[in-house]
């Protein structure tokens, strides 16, 4: 997705040192790995200066200014921030994290003073900015080398996400939102409350039910509630219909919610302003009667031209008022006929309401760490985070839920791209290093505050189309117990959190060759239980090892022990063997995912059910499932792209995916996991 100017050979030669140290080149639109202040030195090899630049704002002067930064005027704050950028890396690291945060927060407020002062009257803009943040994640295919839409439409409860933030959508972990869950997520991320309040499920039916009981009035939350019979009566009078359309258009403000209801279903959209609506929507060529996504078919199985997977769309508001849309969609230039318009024959009620007025508090007092305000102030910033693990002289991309081992070095790279078309100022990125990791090194101007275990990067200005990138390397501490979570999700750029990379430590990795040998030796052996076969494989590797696996009696024991009452139990005996980001199932609801006694209560973005991708599975992983319909507990082991378990003749060996009613690929089988009552992935290499 990154593009840039062509760089002459001589310039490339001059950049060799940077490539050696950081492994990156400047992006074509801008610079990486450093701030934009003049005189910045990306390295830390020059001696600390007490008066960098000779301008009187030496290190001691900067610290003195920061000490009274709360009463300093905007000009003093900006001068101090510029002086900070001129410091060497060693000088920056001589400040405390508290001093750094005091300076960058003051700078943030100085450059955004006008917007922050006006924030109470601009709630609509904040809501619109958050909605567009989801849209930007949805249409990443418009960017070169992007991984494709990262927010997808889906009505299936087994996949739908619950109040995930826009930046939770990644190539590794896509978000699934239907129309109502999208609008609710926008309001939840902006205000911290569900659209209907309390524990009510936000569906078109529930919205219609609540609005039908509300009083209507211009000074109230509910602006319009019109029954289908009344709409059809008005429809027969073209003059009255035109008047109603004109009246509603004049009344709509950004953030207003429009809810159609059709007997037992409907559609919810959000007014964006400027004659535009934004909504999560499917397509006409749906593959199932319940939505666009066949749960037994993977995303990769659909061709690039199949518009099977809907996503968040920005359309002209005439999609709401007329059946045939003559104004083309902002996304792909299409025109279409919609059954989600004001006078559709199937509509039984339309409610238009303004939650900002009656339901929520004001936005004032928000700080640098507030995500919703950050999306408003820094709309158009695109942030990506990737990880690479180095082990035994080789490096590979680290995917979500992959295991890491003591001694592994993991290099995290954060790229911030300005796609807004205008200059952005006062950017600050901070990353808190997880407890199980040790800081090794940083690249560029990123400062390391050892006492606070935090990496920080400051950029005074980022022009339109420019980007900056910084990397840092961490090491998994020696002696870290197997199963320890490394939930790396604390990178913030001006209040916008980057995508999460969740991993667990493996203390005893058997290796693919050893696993293959054990599997080959047992292939054809008869077993009465598939879990006994898996335990036999690991016993061949180490008769006294993998104790957590050997302490489990059966597949039924796995489900009952780790998912009692359809919720994960982090305190269960041998719980370290479970991959905490890879469990779920149709019966495992959101209540089962917010584990009150677990430090991982926020793992996997609060999804109701996890979709397991093939890149998340590792050799030796054991997949355990329970089907209430079949009254059966089952398990299989993954190795080298294949699944192994008990075959129809009762012997252990390779399974065919088609025999498991899962299609033709491993991903097809993994996609069926969400249809089980419950499933969980065990990783014996995490054994204690």
Q: What is the pLDDT of residues 213-240, one digit of tens each?
A: 888 876 568 899 999 999 999 989 989 9
Q: Please report which confidence band the pLDDT of residue 195 belongs to, taking 50, 70 and 90 as the band edges.
A: confident
Q: Are strands 467-476 and 409-418 parallel, antiparallel or unpaired?
A: antiparallel
Q: Are strands 403-404 and 437-442 parallel, antiparallel or unpaired?
A: unpaired
Per residue in 434-479, pLDDT (tens digit) is 888 999 998 778 899 999 999 999 999 999 989 988 899 999 999 8
Residue 368 DSSP SS3? coil
Highest mean pLDDT out of 102-116, 390-404, 569-583: 102-116
Is pLDDT of 513 > 70?
A: yes
- pLDDT score at 640: 86
- Tokens standing for 565? 């009452």
In the DSSP assignment, the letter for residue 116 is: H
Which of 100-109, 309-318, 386-395, 637-646 shows the lowest per-residue confidence on average (mean pLDDT)? 309-318
For the domain 9-47+380-505, what is the CATH code? 2.60.40.740
Scanning the structure block, which residue is given the tokens 């403000």?
253
Is pLDDT of 83 > 90?
A: yes
In the DSSP assignment, the letter for residue 239 is: H
Angle of helix 238-251 versus helix 228-235 axis, rounded to 10: 120
Average pLDDT, the chain: 76
How far apart, in whole angstroms, are the C-alpha atoms of residue 225 and residue 245?
Answer: 14
Q: What are the counts of helices (DSSP H) followed by strands (DSSP E) for the chain?
A: 20, 27
Scanning the structure block, which residue is given the tokens 């305190």?
571
* Cβ(324)–Cβ(337) below 8 Å: yes
Q: Point out which residues pair with 432 in neighbouring strands.
A: 454
How far apart, in whole angstroms, are the C-alpha atoms of residue 495 and residue 493?
Answer: 5
- Tokens standing for 124? 């609509």
How far apart, in whole angstroms, are the C-alpha atoms of residue 233 and residue 145?
Answer: 51
The boundaries of every CATH 2.60.40.740 domain in the chain are: 9-47+380-505
How far apart, in whole angstroms, are the C-alpha atoms of residue 565 and residue 317?
Answer: 45
Query: With 0-12 CB in 10 A as exposed, 13-18 as middle and 19+ as buried, what is 524?
Result: exposed
How far apart, in whole angstroms, are the C-alpha atoms of residue 449 and residue 93?
Answer: 6
- pLDDT score at 350: 92
pLDDT above 90 covers a percentage of the chain that reads 28
How far apart, in whole angstroms, are the C-alpha atoms of residue 503 and residue 497?
Answer: 18
A 10 A CB-CB count for 441 gives 14
- Tokens standing for 116? 């922050």
C-alpha count within 13 angstroms, C-beta hemisphere, residue 158: 22
- pLDDT score at 313: 84
How far apart, in whole angstroms, are the C-alpha atoms of residue 141 and residue 88?
Answer: 39
- pLDDT score at 262: 85
Which run of H or of E encompasses 547?
A: helix 547-550
* Cβ(338)–Cβ(325) below 8 Å: yes
* Cβ(175)–Cβ(136) below 8 Å: no
A 10 A CB-CB count for 114 gives 7
Torsions phi, psi for 308 (to 5 deg): -75, -40
Nearest to 643 by CA among 630, 653, 628: 653
- pLDDT score at 508: 66
How far apart, in whole angstroms, are the C-alpha atoms of residue 121 and residue 291?
Answer: 38
pLDDT, mean of residues 572-594: 70
Task: Give 479-524 as a DSSP string.
Answer: TPPTT-EEEE---EETTEEPPPEEEEE-S----HHHHHHHHHHHTT
How far apart, in whole angstroms, are the C-alpha atoms of residue 269 and residue 257?
Answer: 6
Residue 501's alpha-carbon distances to 29, 164, 385, 412, 508, in angstroms, are 27, 15, 8, 10, 22
How far apart, in whole angstroms, are the C-alpha atoms of residue 2 and residue 6?
Answer: 13
Q: Tell me, yes or no, if the pTM score tops 0.85.
A: no
- Say how far residue 290 (Cα) sits from the centre of its chain: 25
- Say how far residue 616 (Cα) sits from the centre of its chain: 16
- pLDDT score at 73: 93
- Tokens standing for 32? 């990486």
* Cβ(188)–Cβ(177) below 8 Å: no
- pLDDT score at 188: 84
How far apart, in whole angstroms, are the C-alpha atoms of residue 498 and residue 113?
Answer: 25
pLDDT, mean of residues 25-38: 35
- pLDDT score at 670: 81
Residue 627's alpha-carbon distances to 577, 633, 634, 647, in angstroms, are 22, 7, 8, 18
How far apart, in whole angstroms, are the C-alpha atoms of residue 62 and residue 638?
Answer: 57
- Tokens standing for 213? 């009981």
Which of 62-76, 315-329, 335-349, 636-650 shows the lowest per-residue confidence on average (mean pLDDT)? 315-329
Query: With 0-12 CB in 10 A as exposed, 13-18 as middle and 19+ as buried, what is 510?
Result: buried
* Cβ(331)–Cβ(341) below 8 Å: no
């Amino acid at each position: 997705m990154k593009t840039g100017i062509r760089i002459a050979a001589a310039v490339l030669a001059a950049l060799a040192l940077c490539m050696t140290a950081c492994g990156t080149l400047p992006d074509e639109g801008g610079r990486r790995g450093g701030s934009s202040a003049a005189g910045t030195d990306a390295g830390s090899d020059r001696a600390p200066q007490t008066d960098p630049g000779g301008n009187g704002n030496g290190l001691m002067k900067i610290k003195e200014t920061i000490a009274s930064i709360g009463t300093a005027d905007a000009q003093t704050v900006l001068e101090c921030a510029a002086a900070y950028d001129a410091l060497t890396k060693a000088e920056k690291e001589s400040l405390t994290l508290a001093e750094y945060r005091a300076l960058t927060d003051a700078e943030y407020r100085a450059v955004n003073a006008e917007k922050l002062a006006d924030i109470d009257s601009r709630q609509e803009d904040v809501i619109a900015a958050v909605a567009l943040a989801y849209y930007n994640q949805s249409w990443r295919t418009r960017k070169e080398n992007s991984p494709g839409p990262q927010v997808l439409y889906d009505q299936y409860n087994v996949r739908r996400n619950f109040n995930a933030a826009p930046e939770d959508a990644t190539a590794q972990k896509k978000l699934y939102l239907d129309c109502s869950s999208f609008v609710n997520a926008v309001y939840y991320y902006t205000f911290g409350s569900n659209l209907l309040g309390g524990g009510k499920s936000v569906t078109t039916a529930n919205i219609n039910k609540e609005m039908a009981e509300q009083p209507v009035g211009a000074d109230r939350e509910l602006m319009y509630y019109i029954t289908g019979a009344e709409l059809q009566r008005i429809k027969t009078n073209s003059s009255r219909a035109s008047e109603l359309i004109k009246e509603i258009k004049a009344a709509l403000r950004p953030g207003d919610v429009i809810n159609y209801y059709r007997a037992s279903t409907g559609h919810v959209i959000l007014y964006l302003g400027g004659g535009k609506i934004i909504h999560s929507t499917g397509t006409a060529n749906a593959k199932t009667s319940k939505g666009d996504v066949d749960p037994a078919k993977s995303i990769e199985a659909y061709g690039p031209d199949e518009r099977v997977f809907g996503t968040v769309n920005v359309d002209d508001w005439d999609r709401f008022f007329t059946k045939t849309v003559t104004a083309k969609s902002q996304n792909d230039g299409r025109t279409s006929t919609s059954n989600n318009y004001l006078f559709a024959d199937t509509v039984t009620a339309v409610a238009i309401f303004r939650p900002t007025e009656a339901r929520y508090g004001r936005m004032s007092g928000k700080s640098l760490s507030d995500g919703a305000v950050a999306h408003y102030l820094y709309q158009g910033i695109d942030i990506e985070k990737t990880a690479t693990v180095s082990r035994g002289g080789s490096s590979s991309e680290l995917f979500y839920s992959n295991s890491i081992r003591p001694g592994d070095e993991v290099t995290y790279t954060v790229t911030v791209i300005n796609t807004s078309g205008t200059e952005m100022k006062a950017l600050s990125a901070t990353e808190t290093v997880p407890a199980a990791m040790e800081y090794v090194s940083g690249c560029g101007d990123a400062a390391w505050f050892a006492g606070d275990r935090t990496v920080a990067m400051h950029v005074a200005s980022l022009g339109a189309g420019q980007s900056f990138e910084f990397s840092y390397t961490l090491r998994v501490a020696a002696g870290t117990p197997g199963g320890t979570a490394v939930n790396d999700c604390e990178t913030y750029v001006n209040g916008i959190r980057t995508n999460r990379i969740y991993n667990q430590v493996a203390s005893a990795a058997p290796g693919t060759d050893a696993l293959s040998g054990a599997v080959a030796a047992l292939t054809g052996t008869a077993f009465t239980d598939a879990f006994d076969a898996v335990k036999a494989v690991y016993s061949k590797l180490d008769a006294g090892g993998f104790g957590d696996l050997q302490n489990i009696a059966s597949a039924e024991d796995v489900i009952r022990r780790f998912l009692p009452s359809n919720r994960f139990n982090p305190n269960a005996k041998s719980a370290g063997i479970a991959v905490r980001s890879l469990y779920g199932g149709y019966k495992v609801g959101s209540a089962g995912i917010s584990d009150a006694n677990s430090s991982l209560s926020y793992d996997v973005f609060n999804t109701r059910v996890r979709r397991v991708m093939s890149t998340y599975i590792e050799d030796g992983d054991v997949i355990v499932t329970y089907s209430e319909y079949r009254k059966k507990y089952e398990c299989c082991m993954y190795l080298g792209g294949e699944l192994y378990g008990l075959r129809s003749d009762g012997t252990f060996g390779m399974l065919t995916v088609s025999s498991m009613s899962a299609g033709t690929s491993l991903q097809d089988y993994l996609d069926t996991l969400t249809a089980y009552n419950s499933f969980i992935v065990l990783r014996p290499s995490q054994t204690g």
